Every structure is written in structure tokens, then in C-alpha cells.
Amino acid sequence: MPKVLRCESLVRRLGAHDVVRGASLDLDEAEAVALVGPSGCGKTTLLQMIGLLDRPSAGRVVLAGHDAWSLDDAVRAEVRLAWIGFVFQQNNLVEALSARENVALPAWRLGSSRREAERAADALLERFGLAARRDAPASELSVGEAQRVAIARALVNRPRLVLADEPTGSLDSASADVVMEALAAASALGAALLVVTHDLRIAARAGRTVEMRDGRL
């Protein structure tokens, strides 16, 4: 089975300090991995290198067989668009857009017509219990609602890899459960899932837990 993601000895130097120092990690299709570790150990930095947002100082990120950081900027953007879904801890949404517009945007950009994209967005929003809120401006959604919209948006292009950085960090446990259900749905669709979390309960739900300490896995 082809690996969705292979990280080879990733290093990220920020200032004079190696924040990530030689992280290697493989992810298969439909595999869910929880990344845990103390604050400041480099989890977000690692996720951003894998998500093609932050160039590693050394090492390789291989996505579906491609050395992703050797691709040019436009192709890397394409890879993010088609293969990767991102969920951050908070403030994921484009505030000027409605919930539905946020979810539809990546699909529209990837090639669907605007109407098709909105239909796909509506289906996902309904699945996450947000059908009634789809026309609400992003700025008027509750934090939990916004996280679910963000997950819907991360899934709309059926990515190979979903990267979630403490998606439940600012939620109570009930909302966190709803969000985790949504992420589990992503796995069910065949995406590999890498989720950063402090919550051991959530980590337990993933198939595998990887611990990060001082920039190492």
C-alpha cells in the first residue's frame, strides 16, 4: 500500500534554535495518528512543514511519492489544495465569508463550478449538523461550530491527508466530542489523519500515538 506521507529526518531551525530536530514519521491511507507532547516542543512547526507551509531546514516531506518541498511554489499550492486538509486550533475561517462559502471555496478553486462546490459544502455541513447555520457569517459562529465548519472545509476536496493542530484545544468536552466525530469521519473517507492534541482521551481514539519531546519523535 503506498504511503500517503513519509517524513525523513525533518529539521527546522528557528533563530539559533532547532525547534524540530530530526523527525521521521510515516502515515498510511486511512491511518489516524495522534501527535502529543509538551507545549513548545515543535508540534505546530512539524505540522506546518508537513502541510507545505514552512520549509524544513533539512529533511524531506514525501507526499504520495513526491518530494514535496522540491516542487515549485505553484505546484506545492496545488498539492495543498487537492491533497491536504488543514484544521488549526482556532480562527480557521475567512471571516468575510459565510460557513457555506468557506467550505465551498477550495472545491470551487480546484475546478468545480460554484454551484457544485456549494452543493458539496451543503452536504458536509449537513453531515456535521450545521445545515441551519450554513449562511451565517463565519464571524458569528460559535467556536465549536467554526471548528466543524473548518473540518468540513478540510474534507471538501477529499484530501489524502488531514492535518489538525489541537482542533479541540479551545472547546469543552461535549463540543470536542462532536469535532472528534467529524475527524473520525475524515478517516472513514480514506484520508490519513495527523492530529496534534494535549487531550489523552482524544489520543486514545487514534490508532497510533506519537510523542514528541524537544523536537524529536
Ligand X SMILES: Nc1ncnc2c1ncn2[C@@H]1O[C@H](COP(=O)(O)OP(=O)(O)OP(=O)(O)O)[C@@H](O)[C@H]1O
> Which positions touch Mg ion (CB under 5 A)?
44
Residue 120 has phi, psi (to 5 degrees) of: -60, -40
Question: 58: closest CA among 16, 14, 27, 22?
Answer: 22
Binds 131: which of Mg ion, another protein, ligand X, none (CB < 5-8 Å by kind)? none
**Do the beta carbons of residue 169 and residue 146 sit within 8 Å?**
no
Shortest distance, CB of residue 12 to ligand X, whole angstroms?
8
Nearer of residues 194 and 205 to another protein, judged by Cβ: 194
Question: 53: closest CA among 21, 23, 81, 95?
Answer: 81
- The x, y and z cell numbers of residue 59, run together, are 529533511
Nearer of residues 101 and 145 to another protein, judged by Cβ: 101
Determine if 76 is a binding residue for ligand X (CB under 6 A): no
Determine if 17 is a binding residue for ligand X (CB under 6 A): yes
Shortest distance, CB of residue 109 to ligand X, whole angstroms?
28
- The x, y and z cell numbers of residue 63, run together, are 507526499
Binds 19: which of ligand X, Mg ion, another protein, none (CB < 5-8 Å by kind)? ligand X
Determine if 19 is a binding residue for ligand X (CB under 6 A): yes
What crossing angle do the helices spanning 73-83 and 99-110 adopt, rounded to 10°? 120
Shortest distance, CB of residue 210 to Mg ion, whole angstroms?
15
Quick one: which H or E segment has residue 148? helix 143-155
Determine if 1 is a binding residue for ligand X (CB under 6 A): no
Shortest distance, CB of residue 121 to ligand X, whole angstroms?
29
Report how far residue 98's alpha carbon sits from residue 135's, in angstroms, rounded to the nearest whole number. 5
Report how far residue 187's alpha carbon sits from residue 210's, in angstroms, rounded to the nearest whole number. 17
Report how far residue 139's alpha carbon sits from residue 91's, in angstroms, rounded to the nearest whole number. 9
- Give strand pairing partners of 193: 32, 162
Restricted to residues 25-64, the positions that interact with ligand X (CB under 6 A) are 37, 39-45
Binds 199: which of ligand X, Mg ion, another protein, none (CB < 5-8 Å by kind)? none
Residues within the interface to another protein (CB under 8 A): 2-3, 44-45, 48, 51, 53-54, 64-66, 71, 73-84, 86, 88-97, 101, 105-106, 108-111, 114, 153, 160
- The x, y and z cell numbers of residue 185, run together, are 469521519
Instruction: By CB under 6 A, name the binding residues for ligand X.
Output: 14-15, 17, 19, 37, 39-45
